[in-house]
Amino acid sequence: MNNIVLVVKIKVKEEFVEEVYTFMKALHKLTHELDAGCIQYDLHKVKEQDGEFCFIETWENQESLDAHMEKDHFKHFMEFTDGKIEDMKIDFLEKYAEKK
C-alpha cells in the first residue's frame, strides 16, 4: 500500500498571522505526539511571503490521514482558524521516480 503524501498551503489573513501561527505550532506538536500513522508532518513558512505557511505531510495510509482529521487537535485547529484563513490549497502528491 502506498503512503499518502500531501502539501497543504495556507495563506493567513494579515491580522491573524501570529495567533494562527501559534496554533499551527501546537497542531504540529500534537500531531507528532498523538497520531499513529504519521510519518512526516512538517510546518514551513514560505520565504518572503508574509502569512503563508505550508504543511508537508506523509501518512502511512488513507486510514491514518482520516483518523488525524477526526482527532480533537485537528478539529480545534479547523474551528480556531475559521474566518482567519484567506486561502488554503491541498495538493496530493504521487511519487514519480524511485531512488536508484
Predicted TM-score of the model (pTM): 0.90
Average pLDDT value for the chain: 94
Residue among 71, 54, 60 at smallest CA distance from 4? 60
Domains and CATH numbers, the chain: 4-93 (3.30.70.100)
In tens, the pLDDT along 15-43 reads 999 999 999 999 999 999 999 999 999 99
pLDDT at 94: 85
